Structure 1
Amino acid sequence: MEKTKDKIATIILYVISGFVILLLVAFISYILIKGGSSLTPSFIFGNPKFTEAGGGIGPQLFNSFYLLVITLIITIPIGVGAGIYLAEYARKGKILNIIRLSIETMAALPSIVVGLFGLVVFVQMAKWGYSLIAGALAITILNLSSMTRVCENAIRVASLGVKESSLGLGATKWQTIKKVILPMAMPQILTGIILASGRIFGEAAALIYTAGMSASPLNFSNISFIDKASPFAITRSTETLAVYIWKINSEGMLPDATKVANGASAVLVIMILLFNFTARILGKKLHESYTGKI
């Protein structure tokens, strides 16, 4: 009887897993089929004779990657640091309860609310205007709770069995965290980074109110983090690919807006898939190098 129940439960889990995979494959296939005809160099990089995407989606694609880099530079140190504190240093009490309540509350915040908060604080009060740094900070608020929880769980699991051994051999607590626990927790932490990256690529609501909806031509000969004419400036308005897809669908300014949106969506999905696969391969290599498997 118990074996029969176990087989039935196993079959049900396999069916659910297969349905999830099938749903993902169908979703990705639909987007790629609808937008596949637009995936040309002219569509991505621009061409004076090509008007379907207003000259190409190259600026929006670059803005998405650049926003990803800036946001991860802010999110990763804070998320990993918070995870280390909660897993290794925090003591049970009112302060810890307040921290966990704050993390749970941040995780439940709608992106549109975070966008309005960023509009008031970063755009208006800080007087940064619609800028890349304002958008990066808004996305950081959205991602910080999940990043912190992933890092905390990864560090807590990785420390089992090795923490006492390292301390017993004479290593300090920080040496144990830095040299033993963090390398073992790296694959799980990288998973959190991948999840955060997907949120950055696909987010639009929060960026509309903070990063803006204008994409100027890119002049890579001008390298500056302050001059708004430079593509690397964190103070310039930054229209990402997700925001661009929303804008052309909502405004209807282009005669072939549907085709452009389908093509831009296909590019966005391909970029996310490439990033996920690359990040997982890199994470595996890092884990093997830290654990001495190479």
Structure 2
Amino acid sequence: MKQAVTTNPFANPFSGKKSLNRLKDRLFTSVVWTLGIIIIAFIFGLLYLILQDGLPKLTWDFLFGLPSEIEEGGGIGPTLLNSFYILFISLVIAIPLGMAAGIYLAEFAPDNKLIGFVRICVEGLASVPSIIFGLFGIALFVEYFQIGLTILGGGISLAFLNLPVLTRVTEESIRAVPKELKSASFALGATHLQTISRALIPASLNGIITGICLVAGRAFGESAVIILTAGVTTSGEMWDFSLFSPGATLAVHLWYVQSEAIVGDAQEIAQKAAAVLVFVVLLINLLFRIPLWLNTRRTKR
């Protein structure tokens, strides 16, 4: 006599799949955590290798001293000043133009094939190697205007390098703002200009400042554009603010000392210059984070 097989009508048919999904979720979480820890450890290890040799040896004489072509003990004063000077010139030009172009593409540009082609061109320029902008700077400032290798040419060429990135960052940051915020601003009687300046830009400020931070760090450590447009030498004076002086920066000086210099302490100079370069880039990122923190605290109130 066969026994009757009874089934539980309340049994969950998806219980097996749930346990499998939990296993996959834990496995994926473990992989992500492992990769994240490895990457963070690699970054800290790289920073430690760069800073451990140069940072303890830094002195005020090195930071504000003049570079030396033959004798040992040269400093990086003029090149460090040129780095900040050219960075300032490039940001003064690139930030307003990049933000204006991004706002136009996000708020005013019609949705047609021409604007789509313009966006493709901007994205393409954002990924073009920096040496191409250096060659453009040579053609424009050295050959056409015939002003030679100058700080002015280096600063404007760096602005051209950063302009596409800032344009795309600004456009995407403004597009990411919820449409309800824009509609609410119009509903309160604000004009389009008031909506952009008082609603859209403050709401997208975190993304825009992050983009500025990225291009500032890139510009400070850029060497190819500077070599081709500003040269590999300085005027030999510490506080030279002439726009038409040679504009070798700290990154260019680091390359030159490491590959071309004949001074006996070239290796030590390169280590200290690399430590200063990394430290300043980290400092730039930290300084640009302050407005982000203030904006976040203000919006949470």
TM-score by length of 1: 0.90
- What is the CA–CA distance in structure 2 between the aligned matches of 1:113 and 1:156, rounded to whole Å? 30
Residue 37 of structure 1 deviates from its aligned partner by: 3.8
Structure-2 change in CA distance of 1:12 and 1:160 (3 Å): farther
Q: Which has the larger radius of gyration?
A: 2
Letter in 1 for 2:158: I
Q: What are the equivalent positions in structure 2 for 1:241-260 lying under 5 Å apart?
A: 241-260=250-269
Q: Percentage identity across aligned positions?
A: 40
For structure 2, which runs of at least 5 residues remain unmatched after alignment?
A: 1-19
Matched, 1:71 2:117: no
2:278 counterpart residue number = 269
1:52 counterpart residue number = 72
Residues 52 and 260 of structure 1 are in contact (CA less than 8 Å); yes or no, is this contact kept in structure 2?
A: no
Q: What are the equivalent positions in structure 2 for 1:152-167 lying under 5 Å apart?
A: 152-167=171-186
Residues 169 and 211 of structure 2 are in contact (CA less than 8 Å); yes or no, is this contact kept in structure 1?
A: yes
Matched, 1:194 2:194: no
Residue 64 of structure 1 deviates from its aligned partner by: 0.5
- What is the CA–CA distance in structure 1 between the aligned matches of 2:73 and 2:153, rounded to whole Å? 26
1:226 counterpart residue number = none
- What is the CA–CA distance in structure 1 between the aligned matches of 2:285 and 2:297, rounded to whole Å? 18
For structure 1, which runs of at least 5 residues remain unmatched after alignment?
A: 221-230
Where 1:209 maps in the other structure, the secondary structure is helix
- What is the CA–CA distance in structure 2 between the aligned matches of 1:95 and 1:15, rounded to whole Å? 45
Residues 186 and 287 of structure 1 are in contact (CA less than 8 Å); yes or no, is this contact kept in structure 2?
A: no
Where 2:229 maps in the other structure, the secondary structure is coil
Matched, 1:204 2:204: no
- What is the CA–CA distance in structure 1 between the aligned matches of 2:135 and 2:67, rounded to whole Å? 37
1:133 alignment partner, one of 152, 155, 177: 152
- What is the CA–CA distance in structure 2 between the aligned matches of 1:128 and 1:48, rounded to whole Å? 24
- What is the CA–CA distance in structure 2 between the aligned matches of 1:175 and 1:271, rounded to whole Å? 37
Letter in 2 for 1:233: S
- What is the CA–CA distance in structure 1 between the aligned matches of 2:273 and 2:46, rounded to whole Å? 15
Question: CA-to-partner distance for each residue in 1:223-263, whole Å, 9 max, x for gaps?
Answer: xxxxxxxx222222111000000111121321121111110
1:112 alignment partner, one of 131, 137, 145: 131
Question: CA-to-partner distance for each residue in 1:28-47, whole Å, 9 max, x for gaps?
Answer: 11000121243111211228
Matched, 1:234 2:243: yes
Structure-2 change in CA distance of 1:287 and 1:122 (3 Å): farther
Q: Compute the RMSD of aligned alpha carbons.
A: 2.0
- What is the CA–CA distance in structure 2 between the aligned matches of 1:153 and 1:32, rounded to whole Å? 36
Deviates more, 1:6-15 or 1:236-245: 6-15
Letter in 2 for 1:254: V
Residue 270 of structure 1 deviates from its aligned partner by: 0.7
- What is the CA–CA distance in structure 2 between the aligned matches of 1:211 and 1:234, rounded to whole Å? 10
1:285 alignment partner, one of 278, 288, 294: 294
- What is the CA–CA distance in structure 2 between the aligned matches of 1:185 and 1:287, rounded to whole Å? 11
1:182 counterpart residue number = 201
Question: CA-to-partner distance for each residue in 1:129-152, whole Å, 9 max, x for gaps?
Answer: 111121112112221222111111
Residues 67 and 77 of structure 2 are in contact (CA less than 8 Å); yes or no, is this contact kept in structure 1?
A: no
Deviates more, 1:56-65 or 1:276-285: 276-285
Residue 78 of structure 1 deviates from its aligned partner by: 1.1
Residues 134 and 229 of structure 2 are in contact (CA less than 8 Å); yes or no, is this contact kept in structure 1?
A: yes
- What is the CA–CA distance in structure 2 between the aligned matches of 1:42 and 1:235, rounded to whole Å? 26
- What is the CA–CA distance in structure 2 between the aligned matches of 1:48 and 1:163, rounded to whole Å? 54
Q: What are the equivalent positions in structure 2 for 1:65-104 lying under 5 Å apart?
A: 65-104=84-123
Residues 66 and 78 of structure 2 are in contact (CA less than 8 Å); yes or no, is this contact kept in structure 1?
A: no
Moved over 3 A (4+): 217-220, 286-289
Residues 126 and 164 of structure 2 are in contact (CA less than 8 Å); yes or no, is this contact kept in structure 1?
A: yes
1:3 counterpart residue number = 22
1:42 counterpart residue number = 61
- What is the CA–CA distance in structure 2 between the aligned matches of 1:205 and 1:48, rounded to whole Å? 20
Residue 98 of structure 1 deviates from its aligned partner by: 2.0
- What is the CA–CA distance in structure 1 between the aligned matches of 2:227 and 2:95, rounded to whole Å? 23
Letter in 1 for 2:204: A
1:62 alignment partner, one of 64, 81, 96: 81
2:42 counterpart residue number = 23
Residue 201 of structure 1 deviates from its aligned partner by: 1.0
Matched, 1:14 2:21: no
- Count how many residue pairs are aligned between Structure 1 and Structure 2: 281
